[in-house]
Structure 1
Amino acid sequence: MSAVNGDSSFPTEMSEDERYLFDLNGYVIVRGVLTPEQVEEANAMIDKHESEMIQRSDAALRNAVKGTKLYGSGPGRKDLGQVLEWGADSKLFKSILAHPRLVPLFHGIIGKGYRMDHLPFVIAQDKGAEGFQLHGGTIDCTSGEYNPHLAYTYHHGMIRSSLLGCNVMLTDHNPGDGGFCIVPGSHKSNFKMPKGMVDGEKYDEFIRQPATKAGDVVLFSEGTIHGAMAWTPEERQRRVCLYRFSPATNVYGRSYFGHEGGGWPDAIYDDLTEAQQAVLEPPYANRLDRPNIRDDGTHAKETAR
């Protein structure tokens, strides 16, 4: 696998275009983060562990309402966990934690000292497999209540998202294919969705399925209403690895404690760089000597204050 950390060819700050598009839409597509060779490697590792995929067949585990557009023709989606616990097979997946192309955007959206909030996993869909009912929102799309743990904010020139989704696309998503979808601008909405829209049954012209290529990364605020459409291609399985990150002092998930030794699963720590390990720190403030990552994706001992 080609080296990805500390590559000086990547920009070291979030561009004005990226800031504008993220603030406008609540998400941004970062093109070509992984090379074709790295995409091939990631898929080979998934193939190796494909027997461990779990299909969401039980009614209680389904993500869309039967009979709606997002439900598809019946099959449940497949989930593959423990992608950071496969030893040498996890090297590429671990690179995303502090990838030099992504670090400036992580810093620009969730700040220095950012942390991994959820255990990442692979989502797979075969032809006809269900998507996911629309969910999330700074204002919850179904209840209309304020969501501080997902919220998008902008104050005094600073973008912040309480929880950031990071979709690493491992197959092409062409227009009309299905998969990840989002309601652009909904991170700034002040009202719940009209009835039927969360199921894709109403106002679907406002629900966008971004066209992406394998190797692209979609960064989206969890304050932006999103979900997934049923998968339509027969010739290829949809594959995406989903990560979630949060600011240094924010926490949504509970996976960072309760495993062996009280932290993340032990196997995750194998062969991490210092920068990648810094992303696994529990939530606490930067001023309390939190290890930070330089904008080029390398580790820095000094702490941002």
Structure 2
Amino acid sequence: MTDHERYMFDLQGYLVIPDALSAEHLRELNALMDERVANDCEPDMRTHRWVHMLPWGEPYRRLIDLDSVRPYIEELVGSQFRLDHEYADITRAGKGPIGTSLHAGPVPFNPCFYYSCDGESFANGLIALVYNLKDVNEGDGGFGCMPGSHKSNNAMPKSMRELDDAHPRVDRVTGPAGSAVIFTEALIHGTLPWNGADERRTLFYKYSPHALSWAAGYYDADAFDDLTDAQRAALEAPNARYGGRVGPTYGGVNNG
């Protein structure tokens, strides 16, 4: 991360990463999602969520530790980060799969959602990488957040949480297809109603420090025969990463 990026992340709790995906990788991801839409969705579907896309193909497994974003993950949660869970959303109109309410944040304290920065290094609980597979333009909706709320000492009033009528301080975060948003889950965030001419296609890859888990289930790296050593390490269950460790392997993943 550059000094500018570090300052802006500390200030607002998120960053937009331009060109996180190459044009070819973007094409591959969309082609595989097209297949899932054809198999899993009704023609009149307005919104849909898939949980656990790693079995869809290598382009989705490549996102475990994509070169263009890995430096951000390492700086925010450490070089021994783990992929906690992943899912994908499509929204064609209106509210997404979990509605339009702002959620998360630092108050009340949640041991999975924390943030601190001492001016030299970051400490985060769960963080999110959100990839745009389609353009998100001004006025379309999509990702929204209350900038700076990751450092708030007060709980957000319930009257401010609904994004159907978003508070004027809410950031409406845009970006072309191939861009990504990275944010700390200590940031109060949510999904604005979708008004775009095209559908919203979004991939969510959530990362945590090596000893922390939000999801109740863990990955089985042995389910895939094309992973690098670094990717296998990122799929390891939460632990202290001490030498000589052994432990059970849990198949599947449960994202709640």
Q: TM-score, normalised by structure 2?
A: 0.87
User: What SS class does the counterpart of residue 41 from structure 1 fall into?
Assistant: helix
1:125 corresponding residue in structure 2 = 91
Decide whether the 8 Å contact of 1:138 with 1:148 is kept in 2.
Answer: no
Shift in alpha-carbon separation, 1:16–1:48, aligned structure 2, 3 A: same
Residue number among 33, 36, 39 corresponding to 1:46 in the alignment: 33
Q: Does 1:272 align with 2:227?
A: yes
1:230 corresponding residue in structure 2 = 193
Equivalent residue runs for 1:138-157 within 5 Å: 138-139=106-107, 145-155=108-118, 157=120
Decide whether the 8 Å contact of 2:100 with 2:164 is kept in 1.
Answer: no
User: What SS class does the counterpart of residue 140 from structure 2 fall into?
Assistant: coil
Following the alignment from structure 1 to structure 2, what is the Cα–Cα distance between the partners of residues 194 and 249?
32
2:66 corresponding residue in structure 1 = 99
Q: Does 1:109 align with 2:76?
A: yes
Q: Which amino acid aligns with 2:235?
A: L
How many matched pairs? 241
Q: Does 1:25 align with 2:6?
A: no
Q: Does 1:162 align with 2:125?
A: yes
Q: Quick check: which has more Rg, 1 or 2?
A: 1
Decide whether the 8 Å contact of 1:53 with 1:79 is kept in 2.
Answer: no
Root mean square deviation of aligned Cα: 2.1
Q: CA deviation at 1:148?
A: 2.2
Q: Does 1:193 align with 2:160?
A: no
Residue number among 132, 135, 144 corresponding to 2:103 in the alignment: 135
Following the alignment from structure 1 to structure 2, what is the Cα–Cα distance between the partners of residues 203 and 80?
27
Decide whether the 8 Å contact of 2:137 with 2:196 is kept in 1.
Answer: no
User: What SS class does the counterpart of residue 176 from structure 2 fall into?
Assistant: coil
Following the alignment from structure 2 to structure 1, what is the Cα–Cα distance between the partners of residues 244 and 121?
22
Following the alignment from structure 2 to structure 1, what is the Cα–Cα distance between the partners of residues 222 and 191?
32
Shift in alpha-carbon separation, 1:189–1:99, aligned structure 2, 3 A: same
Decide whether the 8 Å contact of 1:54 with 1:80 is kept in 2.
Answer: no
Decide whether the 8 Å contact of 1:126 with 1:237 is kept in 2.
Answer: yes
Following the alignment from structure 1 to structure 2, what is the Cα–Cα distance between the partners of residues 84 and 158?
31
**Deviation string for 1:251-276 (max 9, x for gaps)?**
111120xxxxxx53754x23112221
User: What SS class does the counterpart of residue 78 from structure 1 fall into?
Assistant: strand
Q: CA deviation at 1:50?
A: 1.0
2:236 corresponding residue in structure 1 = 281
Following the alignment from structure 1 to structure 2, what is the Cα–Cα distance between the partners of residues 195 and 128?
21
Q: Which amino acid aligns with 2:48?
A: K
**Deviation string for 1:165-206 (max 9, x for gaps)?**
110110111111011111110000111112321113666111
**Deviation string for 1:247-299 (max 9, x for gaps)?**
0111111120xxxxxx53754x2311222111101112244368xxxxxxxxx
**Deviation string for 1:19-62 (max 9, x for gaps)?**
1111111011111011222212211100011145469xxxxxxx
Unaligned runs of 5+ in 1: 1-13, 56-74, 140-144, 257-262, 291-305
